[in-house]
Amino acid sequence: MPNPVDPLEPGGRIKDIRVYRDSFIGMSMLACVPFLIFGALKVYGWLAAIGLFVFWTLLLAQSTRWFLPYPRRVIYLALVGFASWLGVVLLTR
């Protein structure tokens, strides 16, 4: 008996793409973070920018792993990326 909340049809096609709306929103938010990181480079310098970029890369890798199974968590990862950037900016000012 198929799972009623399973977003996939038996052939592997997606029944309703709206299930993954949060994943797309989170990935869009996460795509904005590198622009913030390298846009405010003069505020905190290259060392912090490289550290933030490495952290963002880890967030991006995890969000691609959670894209289908946990769509809501991708938004939280994007918020963590924004919060980490904001924290570095506030600490270095």
What is the residue extent of each domain of the chain? 22-92
Instruction: For 7-58, write each residue's pLDDT tens digit.
Output: 666 776 777 778 889 999 999 999 999 999 999 999 999 999 999 999 999 9
Residues 6+ away with beta carbon under 8 Å from 16: 7
Rounded distance between C-alpha atoms, residue 52 and residue 73, angstroms:
20
pLDDT beyond 60 at 3: no
Q: How far apart are CA 66 and CA 32, in angstroms?
A: 19
pLDDT of residue 8: 62
State residue 80's pLDDT score: 98
Q: What is the pLDDT of residue 73?
A: 96
